[in-house]
Structure 1
Amino acid sequence: MLSARHYAIPISILISLVLQIMPLPIQVDMYRPDWVLIVLAYWCMALPNRVNVGVAFITGVALDILMGATLGIHSLALSLSVYVLAANYQRLRNYSVWQQAIIIGLLSALYHLVVYWLEHLLTDIYFQFAYLWPVITSMVLWPWVFWMLRKARRQMRIS
Structure 2
Amino acid sequence: MEANNRWFIAVTVLLALLLAVMPLPYNWLWFRPSFTALLVIFWITRMPQSLGVGFAWMVGILEDLVTGSVLGTHALALAVLAYFSLLTYQRTRAFNPAQQLMWVFILVGINQVVGNWVHGLAGKPVPGLTFLWPAITSALLWPWMAPWLGLMAGRLQVR
Structure 1's unaligned 5+ residue stretches are none
Decide which moves more: 76-85 or 43-52: 43-52
Distance 1:31 1:93, change over 3 A: same
Distance in structure 2 (CA, Å) of the matches to 1:103 and 1:55: 21
2:21 match: 21
Decide which moves more: 89-98 or 143-152: 89-98
Deviation at 1:6, TM superposition (A): 4.2
2:135 is equivalent to residue 97 of structure 1:
no
1:76 match: 76
State the one-letter code of the partner of 1:93. R
1:135 match: 135
Partners of 2:4 and 2:158 within 8 A in 1: no
State the one-letter code of the partner of 2:96. S
Deviation at 1:131, TM superposition (A): 1.1
Partners of 1:104 and 1:142 within 8 A in 2: yes
Partners of 2:31 and 2:134 within 8 A in 1: yes
Deviation at 1:5, TM superposition (A): 4.7
TM-score (norm 2): 0.93
Deviation at 1:148, TM superposition (A): 0.4
Percent of residue pairs bearing the same amino acid type:
29
Q: RMSD in angstroms over aligned alpha carbons?
A: 1.5
1:125 match: 125
Distance in structure 2 (CA, Å) of the matches to 1:39 and 1:100: 14
Distance in structure 2 (CA, Å) of the matches to 1:87 and 1:7: 26
Decide which moves more: 56-65 or 20-29: 20-29
Counterpart mapping for 1:24-39 below 5 A: 24-39=24-39
1:156 match: 156
Length, aligned pairs only:
158
Distance 1:4 1:113, change over 3 A: same
Partners of 1:116 and 1:127 within 8 A in 2: no
Structure 2's unaligned 5+ residue stretches are none
TM-score (norm 1): 0.93
Deviation at 1:125, TM superposition (A): 1.9
Distance in structure 2 (CA, Å) of the matches to 1:4 and 1:126: 41
2:46 match: 46
Distance 1:87 1:156, change over 3 A: same
Secondary structure of 1:30's counterpart equals helix
Deviation at 1:124, TM superposition (A): 5.0
Deviation at 1:3, TM superposition (A): 6.5
Q: Which runs of 4+ in 1 moved over 4 A?
A: 2-6
Distance 1:5 1:136, change over 3 A: same
State the one-letter code of the partner of 1:119. H
